[in-house]
Every structure is written in C-alpha cells, then in structure tokens.
Structure 1
Amino acid sequence: MTTNRTLVIVAHPNLTESRANATRLAEIKDLDNVTVHDLYQAYPDFNIDVAREQQLLREHDTVVLQFPVYWYNVTSMLKAWIDAVLVHGFAFTFDGSPSALHGKKAWLAVTVGSTLETYAAEGLARRPLEEYLAPVTQSLEFCQLDYQGFHAIYGMIFDPSDEDLVLDAKEYRKLISTGETPVG
C-alpha cells in the first residue's frame, strides 16, 4: 500500500503572528507523508519558481491550500501562485485530455477573522463562506483536481482560546493523516 503524500501550501503573509496557523502547522510537523511549503518564506519578492511549484504538485497526491481569508478572498501571494502555476498545458486543458493534476485531491484550510454567524444570510457577510471561496474551488475543479471541501476556524479577531486552537489543530491533523474529507 502506498502512502498518500500531502502538500500543504501555506500562504499567510504574517505566519509568525498567526496563532491558529502556527498551531495547525505544529500539529502536523511530524507527519512523514506531509510537505509544508510556505509561499511567503519561499518567495518574499513574489518571484515564483513555476517549475519548482509544478514539480511539487506532481510529487503529491493531495494538495491543501492553507490561508487566512482576507477581504473575502485569498491572500495576494496565493493569488499570484494560482496565476503563475496553474497554467494551460499543466493544470488544465481545453481538449479534454488529463492535466498533470487530474484526480489529485485538494481542499482548503482557512482561518477566518469573523464568526461563523457573520457568514449567514442575516450576518454581516450576507452569505456563507462557501460562496466567498467559490472562485478558488472552481479554479481547483477546472484544473481537474478532486475538490474535497474546506476546514475553517472562525473568530480569529476575537483571540480564541488556546484550547480552541488545539482542538482545531487536532482535527486538521486527523484530516491530513487519514485523508478524510473536511466538512466545511
């Protein structure tokens, strides 16, 4: 039996100050089948090595995009990475032939400043988080990745307890180590 290799692409512009993301990463650091790749550390000048990034994607079975939701969107680095790396001929085709990403699993691991209640029809955001993540999920699916959903922790601006962060990180580890589908 082969081990599922997971690539965790971290796109947080201030990772050292993110308690939630740091706790998540600490929880998975000992997993042998996981490669953690910090885009802001690798490319502080945003000069993305496309060949390297595409090779990393080829070498893994599952891709997890880990990022904070900024203004209902991905971070600028993750957007730059998507634009540079997920290109025609590698990540998608128009003739129906399989891309290099065909059949690989993908999911999102997001941290959200506001509460879950904010992302409701009656909340400040006026729609669920899934709708704000739709451009990313559609891009993944267009690239023939098998989108699995997302794992979110809400309320980061309200300074969650260490206990809440640890519980979230343990769930994150379970999802990565077992290959279970996030419930979003």
Structure 2
Amino acid sequence: MSKTLILLFHPDLSRSKANAAMATAAARLPDVEIVDMQSAYPDGIDMFRDGESEAARLLAAGRIVLQFPVQWYSTPPLLKAWQDSVLTRMFYVNYETEGRVLEGTELMVAATAGNVPEAYRPGGRNMFEIEALFAPLRATANRCGLEWSPPFVIYKADKLPPEALRAEADRYADRLAEACR
C-alpha cells in the first residue's frame, strides 16, 4: 500500500466544517498524510525557500490529493501559488531529478462547493459542470504526466446538517480507501 498525501488548501481550517470533517475522516486511514498548507505557509510559498521540501513530500507519495473549497469557480490562492512554485521547480527547473520521477503518480481533486449539484450544469446557476471548473487542474496533471483520478465533491458543504456531513466525510474516506486496494 502506498502513501496518500492530502494537501489541504483551506484558507482557515478552524472555520471549516466540510474540509475539516473530510480531513478527520481521512486521518483515520492508514498511510495517509494530511498537510494543512495554510498553516504550513501562512506567509505564502516560495520556489527557492520551500520548493525542495515540497518536492520531497510529493516524491514520497504514491497518490496526491488536492483538497480545497471551490472559491469563485477556482482554487484558493495558495493552491495556485503552490503550483507556480513547486510544479515550476519540479517540471521546469529540476525535471530530470524531480519532475520525471513524479510522472505517473495519481492526482485526485477533493473539493467542497457551497451550491447544490443542479447549479453545476449547463443552464444552471453556475453555468458549468463542476468538473469543467477543474479543467486547469486536469490540464496541469496532463502536462506533468500525472494520472488524473475522477474528482470527489461535496455539494452544499456549508449547509449540510452534522449527520449528513459525517456521511459525506465517510464517503470521502471510503473513496480514498478504495483507491488504496
């Protein structure tokens, strides 16, 4: 069984319901490492200062999960900064020793959205299917030679009652455990 690395990009995990519940459920699984990226990099991430340790973290993983709340149809700013710093370092600066080695690693997006699933479809309130909003991440995975795994999404994330939220978090943990078999 290989290690699953969950990079959690929530701007303030202490105020989160859904992302915190997902992390708690995932933490019960063996061989899962969860990194609260906002706590790790409160002042932002830098290719030269932080790139080596982040590259090492990725290279030690058998699967990478990018977990985040969808914010204005995109990822939180720190996730984009992480891509710019870490993936640029690995795939443009140190391709032979880092990027090439990471190729073939599975990448999964685990996201929370505040609206209902019906809002994420053509003609819906948000115009696009949720997976269309992940197109830049899928393109990045393709460019980096990472194996794209279907995304995991919790809808109505900030409106679910506690028992429904626990059920969704357990569904997340089940999905992570299935992929490890």
Taking structure 2 as the reference length, what is the TM-score of the superposition? 0.90
Matched residue pairs, number?
A: 174
Q: Measure, in 2, the Cα distance between the counterparts of 1:152 and 1:99.
A: 29
Equivalent position SS for 1:179: helix
Alignment of 1:81-100 (within 5 A): 81-87=82-88, 90-91=90-91, 99-100=100-101
Letter in structure 2 aligned against 1:17: R
Which residue pairs with 1:176 in the alignment? 176
Identity of counterpart residues, as a percentage? 30
Contact 1:137–1:147 (8 Å) recurs in 2? yes
Which residue pairs with 1:152 in the alignment? 153
Letter in structure 1 aligned against 2:83: I
Structure with greater helix percent: 2
Which residue pairs with 1:58 in the alignment? 59
Which residue pairs with 1:110 in the alignment? 111
> Offset at 1:14?
1.3
> Offset at 1:30?
2.7
> Offset at 1:168?
1.1
Structure 1 runs (4+) greater than 4 angstroms displaced: 92-95
Tell me how large the CA RMSD over aligned residues is.
1.9
Equivalent position SS for 1:31: coil
Query: Gaps spanning 5+ residues in structure 2: where?
Result: none
Distance 1:172 1:75, change over 3 A: same
Contact 1:91–1:101 (8 Å) recurs in 2? no
Which residue pairs with 1:77 in the alignment? 78
Contact 1:91–1:144 (8 Å) recurs in 2? no
CA offsets 1:43-96 (integer angstroms, 9 cap, x no match): 0000341111100000001000000000000000000001000026x236999x
